[in-house]
Structure 1
Amino acid sequence: MKKLATLIALFLTLTACSEDADDNAVAETNASVSFKFTHNWNDQSLDSSNFENLDLTNENGEVINIDRVRYLISRIELINTDNNLNYVFDGYKFTDLSNEDTYDFSPETNAVPLGNYQLKFIWGFNEQDNINGAYPDLNTASWNWPDMLGGGYHFLQFDGMYNVNTTNPAPFNYHNGTARVSEGVFEQNFATIIFSESFTISNNATIEVKMNIAQFFTNPNTWDLNVLDTPLMPNYTAQKMMQENVLSVFSLGEIIQ
């Protein structure tokens, strides 16, 4: 009888230990986060299948066709609004609107504590990262910004035709990067994008970032392509206007988790 009682006690002890282990294993504290970038012209969705085939009207009334949109963002980070800790993801994101494989971004090192966050990233490269010839894939993509204009890399290449509804259509090259103040004098021209909305990460999540390309021509500077079409890279005033307008280009979309 004593032997039976001992076996029952041992069984109950092992079962309790097993239940405790299961309880501890259930509590997940980190999530994996990825980003999905979508593109539009106000209410018109844009992707590789249609962006070259649409007549679009900008804020100033010019009707345009788009030939190319390529852009760079870097230092994507999540700011924990509970404890003010920042989680910066390695790498940068180079997007080509003609290639849907470039729309998404999944950081390699990716373990974000559950909690409440705001999203932040750099438009282009900041001064520390904008180094001549430092990124082989960007060199291959012909993404370099000319040395005579400050070197480093483009932030944006946005090309097309305007006044396409007239008998005198003309090209535009809305290229953004370092701003040339004067001969040999340059000004950093990146922008810090911070989304005001706070959101909760409670599980593995995909965060949508929406890019309204029409805003490059809209806010706060209404862009007149008849005055500012090409070349804009050496134009200091144009470069600073682009830096101001990009602040309204991005918005937070759907968060799936």
Structure 2
Amino acid sequence: MKKIAFLLAITFAFISCNSDDDVTTTPEDTTVDFTFSQNWAGDAIENSDYETTSYTNANGESLKLSKLVYLISDITFTAADGTVYDAGDYNLIDARNGTNVNFTPGIEIPEGDYIVSFTFGFDDEDNDLDGGYLDLNSSDGSWAVPGPLGGGYHYMRMEGAYNNNIGINVNYQYHTVRANRHSSFPPGPDTLEELRDTSFVVNLGAITIGSNTNIEVKMNVDEWFKNPNQWDLNTWYTILMPDFEAQKDMSENGTAGAFSLGTVTQ
């Protein structure tokens, strides 16, 4: 009897071990946190730097920042098997005031390895929902773009003052929107000839997503004035929204390296 009981115990233990080996662990679903930081050529831009710290751009102009507000949308996670996770939401970041510098997209994804990307501004599909974002319509003195300029929404508003080529302190407005071409200037209700999507996708590369992942996205403000188009504030310092060529050049500068992956914490 004792021998039978002993054999039964061994058999049960063997079955139990095999069962444990055959169990497939399903990855847990999790949210992902993002932190947006700003720097000038690697030097962090803090709240106290606005209107006090002078920066020198690639063209040699000394400038200060008074405002830096920008929109990102469609944070996307692409898995190795091609599955795409996109919450379809957006985030308006006011860098000076520290508003929305921390953001969690409204989506849960399985833990694992992903290519992570986002859109700077709104692409045409989202931008054509003109007036459809009530929070953006009421924020920051209206984030909406006037109808004669093609409607939709700003991508970024960067403002401040610079010393021009004759030593006078002049305000600048570096505003990025969808490029719009007009038959005359100033543009009017019936002068719009062409709209071009100048938003762009930022690819942060491969990132492992765990249960408490925080991804830092860095904006190097210096790059907006630098590459591939060296920016001359004496020529392009205001009324840039209806300037088709200026909007194209700003988009190229942003695409070339304004954003990069910072620290990833788990």
Question: Would the TM-score normalized by the shorter structure come out above 0.5?
Answer: yes
* Shift >4 Å, 4+ stretches: 23-27, 164-167
1:97-246 matched pairs, under 5 angstroms: 97-115=95-113, 117-130=114-127, 131-141=129-139, 142-163=142-163, 167-182=167-182, 183-195=191-203, 197-246=205-254
User: Aligned to 1:129, what secondary structure does the other structure show?
Assistant: helix
Counterparts of 2:179 and 2:172, CA distance in 1: 18
Task: Report the number of matched residues.
Answer: 254
> In 2, are the aligned partners of 1:68 and 1:159 still within 8 Å (CA)?
yes
Measured after TM superposition, the shift of residue 165 of structure 1 is: 10
- Corresponding letter in the other structure for 1:186: E
Which residue of 2 is the match for residue 92 of structure 1?
90
Identity of aligned residues (%): 34
- Whole-Å separation in 1 of the counterparts to 2:19 and 2:47: 52
CA distance 1:27–1:179, change in 2 (3 Å): closer
Corresponding letter in the other structure for 2:123: N
| In structure 1, C-alpha distance between the alignment counterparts of 2:259 and 2:223, rounded to whole Å | 9
CA–CA distance in structure 1, aligned partners of residues 110 and 232 of structure 2 = 43
Shift of 1:208: 1.0
Match of 1:35 in 2: 34
Confirm whether residue 249 of structure 1 aligns to residue 248 of structure 2: no
Instruction: Give the CA deviation at 1:106.
Output: 0.4
Q: What RMSD in Å do the two structures reach over aligned CA positions? A: 3.0
Contact 1:123 1:155 in 2 (8 A): yes
Structure 2 CA distance for partners of 1:20 and 1:31, relative to 1, 3 Å: farther
User: TM-score, normalized by length of structure 1?
Assistant: 0.86
Please report the TM-score for the alignment, with normalisation by the length of structure 2. 0.83
CA deviation string 1:171-201 (max 9, x = no partner) = 1101111212122223233333242632323
Output the CA distance in 2 between the equivalents of 1:199 and 1:136: 33
Unaligned runs of 5+ in 1: none
